[in-house]
Amino acid sequence: MRTHNNAAWWFAVPAFSLLLLVGLIPIVAVFNFSLFDIFTLEDRYWVGLDWYRELTVSVDLYKALGRSVLFSTLVVLIQFPLGIGIALMMRRGSIQTTAMLMLLAIPLVVPWNMIPIVWTTLVNPDFGVLGQFFGWIGWDFDYKFNALHTWMLILTVDTWHWVGLVAILAYSGRSSIPNAYFHAAVIDGASRRAVFWHIELPKMRAVLLMALLLRVMDSLMIYTEAFAINAGGPNGATTFLSLDLGEDINAFNYGPAAARSVIYFLFVLLLAWNFRRMMQRAEAA
């Protein structure tokens, strides 16, 4: 009779303990803060669920949520076709592919606070390369007072920063496909489009779902780039959820900020749970 030894789970105890320390305890603390009107840690007053009631009827909250969802949707629609297209152009095992992967990884290691500085310098009409080019072609690019231009710049910055991640993950998923599938497609006379839709995309689905989860979660938390570029302007056109939260924290409104954090956490948790369901279905397919 076979016996099961679960002693290996003891090796996971340090990881679970660390997760409890850096994950669960801060969440509980933030929820506790959301139930108080806090002036200082020693001077606070019980308000119960008042902050949650105010937030759930706040029009600004739903507007910020709409902007964040729109931004994440545009990020996915732009970066995934572009990243997958780059991955499909790279041949497995070649020196050129190795160089391309290294170039794609460079933006991923650039400090976040430096990225908006680099791009706002590039689009500066006085000395920026892109800004002078825009002036040469007669395009009055004004990301400070034109909401469309601000969105374009933030999306460009985010795409430059993260499309490499999508391309690298897509390339890794494509590289794991056995050559036998491609040989069979050649024998059957399948077109390039048919190979992509019926071989490459289904086999890449699991890793692409992981990339999708990472990009959606990260795009919903965008703060540094949007704040440094236009601080949520013009006229609140780029005020995302994270910027609203940052304003509460900067104004020392710790009670409302904690309530916002809990609501955002539950929203992101719901998204992550749905993505997990999608990944399980993809693995089972």
Residue 127 has φ and ψ, to the nearest 5°, of -140, 0
* Residue 118: how many other CB atoms lie within 10 Å: 13
Structural domain includes residue 177? yes
Q: How many domains are contained in the chain?
A: 1
The pLDDT confidence band at residue 205, using thresholds 50, 70 and 90, is confident
Q: Does the pLDDT at position 282 exceed 70?
A: no
Which whole number is the average pLDDT over 206-217?
88
Assigned domain for 21 exists: no
Per residue in 7-52, pLDDT (tens digit) is 777 888 888 888 888 878 888 888 998 999 887 666 788 888 999 9
74 pLDDT above the threshold of 90:
yes
Domain that holds residue 251: 58-284
SS3 state of residue 90: coil
CA distance 263 to 214: 20
Residue 230, domain member (yes or no): yes
Determine, yes or no, domain membership for 7: no
Nearest C-alpha neighbor of 237 from the set 14, 26, 59, 68 = 68
Percent of the chain at pLDDT > 70 equals 95
* pLDDT (0 to 100) of residue 79: 96
CATH of the domain at 62: 1.10.3720.10
Whether 4 is in a domain gets the answer no
Q: Is 102 within the bounds of a domain? A: yes
Torsion of CA 269, 274, 109, 107, to 10 degrees: -130
The helix/strand/coil state of 37 is strand
DSSP character for 10?
Answer: G
| Tens of pLDDT, residues 135-145 | 999 999 999 99
Q: Is the pTM of this model over 0.85?
A: yes
Any domain includes 30: no
Whether residue 130 is contained in a domain is answered as: yes
